């Protein structure tokens, strides 16, 4: 199913802990969302990675809040007194990303919250696959909500798209940063997680996930490239890394 599109009707508050100044906004569907702005420093590529990574996590059965496309009208938030935020809103007119706000959720703490080995292993495998440099003790990008673990951010994944010349090398690359993963000590079932993921991530499913990303995000993130070439690049990364998944699986097992 395509992502729903809503309109932002009210800016509520910034989330200062995010480097790109995400904010809580109210949508015209009467729900609250954590809005991630196209005009933020990480730009559209972070939104693309967030959609692809988040929807792959959902395919694997991991908890992900609903993601929506959020239309930000010109002039939205013009009464905002903070100049930095006002500049961000001006730069983000158009289509942005919203993640359903989990009211009352708390940040995952490995010292407090115990996660089962199957879930921990699947998340570690996913982040090695996507080359997600977050999910460390400093920035877990996970929440506890209703006594369950929820993933909330994949914007730092697939960093090949910041330098497309690195795409061929990334396809077969292990992922050394996995040693910093906050869930690695609990990921005792990595081989089983890999088998589960490989059974789910068919070419058809990957193509469907890539198709969820708005064409305008793809094209504006790489204006010098053809749209179909950009889409093919993401599909190639996701499909070919599966073919060479033994490398990053071994890296994760060795790091553990």
The per-residue pLDDT for range 57-67, each reduced to its tens digit, is 999 999 999 99
- At residue 60, the pLDDT reads 98
The owner of tokens 């995010």 is: 18
Claim to verify: residue 175 and residue 205 sit in the same structural domain:
yes
| Range of the structural domain that residue 199 is part of | 107-255
Claim to verify: residue 24 and residue 92 sit in the same structural domain:
yes
**25 with 8: CB under 8 angstroms?**
yes
Which of these three, 100, 128, 159, is where a domain ends? Answer: 100
Claim to verify: residue 134 and residue 53 sit in the same structural domain:
no
**DSSP conformation class of 222:** S
Claim to verify: residue 25 and residue 117 sit in the same structural domain:
no
Which of these three, 65, 85, 100, is where a domain ends? Answer: 100
Radius of gyration of the chain (CA): 18
**72 with 55: CB under 8 angstroms?**
no
Claim to verify: residue 92 and residue 54 sit in the same structural domain:
yes
Claim to verify: residue 112 and residue 61 sit in the same structural domain:
no
Claim to verify: residue 139 and residue 65 sit in the same structural domain:
no
Which positions of the chain have pLDDT values less than 50? Answer: none
Claim to verify: residue 150 and residue 251 sit in the same structural domain:
yes
Claim to verify: residue 78 and residue 117 sit in the same structural domain:
no
Claim to verify: residue 121 and residue 235 sit in the same structural domain:
yes
- At residue 17, the pLDDT reads 64
- At residue 245, the pLDDT reads 97
- At residue 18, the pLDDT reads 56
Claim to verify: residue 218 and residue 93 sit in the same structural domain:
no
Number of domains in the chain: 2
**DSSP conformation class of 138:** T
pTM of the entire predicted model: 0.95
Claim to verify: residue 74 and residue 44 sit in the same structural domain:
yes
- At residue 130, the pLDDT reads 98
**157 with 135: CB under 8 angstroms?**
no
Token pair in block for residue 159 = 């960093």
Which of these three, 73, 100, 127, is where a domain ends? Answer: 100
Q: What is the pLDDT of residues 26-52, one digit of tens each?
A: 999 999 999 999 999 889 999 999 999
The owner of tokens 């919250």 is: 113
């Amino acid at each position: 199913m395509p992502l729903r599109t809503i309109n932002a009707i009210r800016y509520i508050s910034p989330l200062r802990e995010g480097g790109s100044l995400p904010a809580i906004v109210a949508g015209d569907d009467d729900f609250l969302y954590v809005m991630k702005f196209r005009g933020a420093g990480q730009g559209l590529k972070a939104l693309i990675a967030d959609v692809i990574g988040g929807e792959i996590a959902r395919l694997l059965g991991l908890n992900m809040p609903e993601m929506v496309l959020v239309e930000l009208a010109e002039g939205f938030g013009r009464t905002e007194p903070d100049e930095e935020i006002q500049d961000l809103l001006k730069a983000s007119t158009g289509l942005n990303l919203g993640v359903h706000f989990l009211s009352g959720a708390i940040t995952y703490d490995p010292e407090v919250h115990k996660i089962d080995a199957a879930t921990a292993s699947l998340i570690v495998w996913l982040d090695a696959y996507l080359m997600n440099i977050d999910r460390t003790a400093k920035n877990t990008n996970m929440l506890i909500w209703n006594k369950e673990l929820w993933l909330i951010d994949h914007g730092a994944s697939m960093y090949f798209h910041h330098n497309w010349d690195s795409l061929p090398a990334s396809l077969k690359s292990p992922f050394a940063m996995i040693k910093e993963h906050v869930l690695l000590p609990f990921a005792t079932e990595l081989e089983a997680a890999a088998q589960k993921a490989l059974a789910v991530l068919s070419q058809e499913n990957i193509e469907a996930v890539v198709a969820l990303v708005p064409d305008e995000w793809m094209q504006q993130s790489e204006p010098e490239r053809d749209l179909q070439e950009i889409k093919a690049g993401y599909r190639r990364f996701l499909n070919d890394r599966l073919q060479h998944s033994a490398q990053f699986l071994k890296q994760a097992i060795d790091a553990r």
